[in-house]
Amino acid sequence: MESILVIDDDINLCNILSEELNDAGYKTNYLSSEENVVKFLKDNKINLMLLDLNMPGKDGFEIQNEINSWSGCPTKTIILTAYSDERSAIKSARLGASDYLCKPYELNELLISIKKVLQNQT
């Protein structure tokens, strides 16, 4: 069973999304802050991260940079953001994000993206 980590400062979204992903057959965990993301990834096998860009403290770009600097992390990333623009989409791709979705998104759209990203894992 593939494991997904949701990182978003909106705890309600984390709960709802985790429940929906569990219902779709994925094992989910979530973090509602950027603290300990790398530690969590070192301690847990995660196949995919759903990462919010706009968070207090470190933003999603800083988190992705931190993860990228740790070479032991094969985790794929889908960026989720309510503040979408072309520059952030390009920056996300340059940092290695596998996909970029704008909030609000349809659950089916997210599930299709997740399936596509996970099938492309090496």
User: What does the block give as tokens for 14?
Assistant: 């984390």
Supply the angle between the helices 86-94 and 60-69 in degrees, to the nearest 10: 10
pLDDT tier for residue 121 given thresholds of 50, 70 and 90: low
- pLDDT for 73 equals 61
Distance, CA of 108 to CA of 86 (rounded, Å): 23
- pLDDT for 122 equals 45
Q: Over the chain, what is the mean pLDDT?
A: 88
- pLDDT for 71 equals 60
Q: Which domains does the chain have, with CATH numbers?
A: 3-117 (3.40.50.2300)
Q: In this structure, are residues 100 and 60 in contact, taking their beta carbons and an 8 Å threshold?
A: no
Q: How buried is 12 (Cβ within 10 angstroms: 0-12 exposed, 13-18 middle, 19+ buried)?
A: exposed
Half-sphere CA count of 50, side-chain side, radius 13 A: 31
